[in-house]
Amino acid sequence: MNDAVLSQTLLRPLNARRAVNLSVKTWFYVAAIGHAIFLTYILAVFYPPIAESGLYGLKGLHLPTGFREGDTLGNLASVSHVLLAVIVIGGGPLQLIPSVRRYAPRFHRWLGRSYLLAAVITSVAGMYMTWTRHTFGNLVSQISITMDGILILVFAFLAVRTAMTKRIAEHRRWAMRLFLAASAVWFFRVALMGWAMLTGGWGIEWKSFTGPFLYALGFGQYLLPLAMLEWYFHCQKRGAGQGTQIAFVSTLIPLTVFMAIGIFAATMGLWLPRI
Ligand code: HEM
């Protein structure tokens, strides 16, 4: 690139469409860093004891229930849930990086199939544990997380169906929805810790793990990211107005800042101390 082209590129006004793309890219890379930290935590905390002692490795782990004598199916659900979480949390962001898709299409396909399978098993196991063992929260938390499990199954089915019928643009949209629904549990941890850091835990009853903030977050962990995604799709349309695009960017920037605070708080308060 010569100097004239370079300076023209740098001086090009930041129009609304470019601002949308830039804000989404920034959001994505901040989220990817946060996923990488959660992935490190899962690998470091759950893998060594389970590799050493199988189902008994769940004993003493930081889980609401973990190992329960005589409940083989529940223990299997718990083990498969935390082991496959690695593919869901590690694979999700990788699937969305355009250069991975472009330069390693076979890896993208292979990871895509593993991701889908892992997301489906993890959510079925999660729903099983939610309704057969008392894990955390109350009925509201059980219903809100179950809705996420159902959304994961529906989005996974639609992502596969559109890929099989070669409707690639639609496939991409369903795959992105699946990514956000499958990462809802990550958003939950990040938003919870960010909120606790900023407000001292307003609306949270820690002992019973209930309270208005937790109820809102139970649904918000997937409804808010999914709503932002639909808004992003709308901003990408040809006829999308500049006003809508600027409103989108002005909403996404503070949400990204909050997410970054939450990643820091979750890393320092939840993940790093247990690694
Ligand atoms: C598909 C994305 C999901 C991932 C990546 C994931 C990941 C995890 C991880 C890493 C844990 C261990 C707790 C921690 O240290 O943070 C966990 C626990 C748990 N998750 Fe999920 N989860 C997912 C979806 C779900 C869904 C949809 C449900 C329920 C419908 C669910 C229910 C549970 C339950 C009940 C536990 C406690 C397990 C126990 O006490 O043995 N999860 N999850």
Residue 36: name the closest of 266, 273, 269 by CA: 266
**196: in domain:** yes
Question: For position 6, what pLDDT does the model report?
Answer: 54
Is there an atom of ligand 1 within 6 Å of 126 CB? yes
The pLDDT mean for the chain works out to 93
For atom 9 of ligand 1, which residue has the closest CA? 82
Residue 28: name the closest of 114, 98, 111, 120 by CA: 98
Radius of gyration of the chain (CA): 20
CA 21 – ligand 1 centroid, Å: 32
pLDDT higher at 104 or 238: 104
**19: in domain:** no
> How many percent of the chain have pLDDT more than 70?
95
For atom 13 of ligand 1, which residue has the closest CA? 63
pTM: 0.92
**101: in domain:** yes
Is there an atom of ligand 1 within 6 Å of 177 CB? no
Atom of ligand 1 nearest to the CA of 123: 27
Residue 225: name the closest of 169, 168, 148, 112 by CA: 148
**1: in domain:** no
For atom 20 of ligand 1, which residue has the closest CA? 126
Atom of ligand 1 nearest to the CA of 133: 35
The 10 Å CB-count burial string (b at 16+, else e) for 33-51 is: ebbebbbbbbbebbeeebe
**253: in domain:** yes
Condensed to tens digits (0 to 9), the pLDDT of residues 161-208 reads: 999 999 999 999 999 999 999 999 999 999 999 999 999 999 999 999
pLDDT band at 49 (very low <50, low <70, confident <90, very high): very high
Condensed to tens digits (0 to 9), the pLDDT of residues 11-47 reads: 454 699 999 999 999 999 999 999 999 999 999 999 9
The number of domains in the chain is 1
Question: For position 229, what pLDDT does the model report?
Answer: 98
**11: in domain:** no
Domain encompassing residue 146:
24-274
Question: For position 11, what pLDDT does the model report?
Answer: 45
**14: in domain:** no
By 3-state DSSP, what share of the chain in percent is helix, strand and coil, each rounded to 5?
Answer: 80, 0, 15
**4: in domain:** no
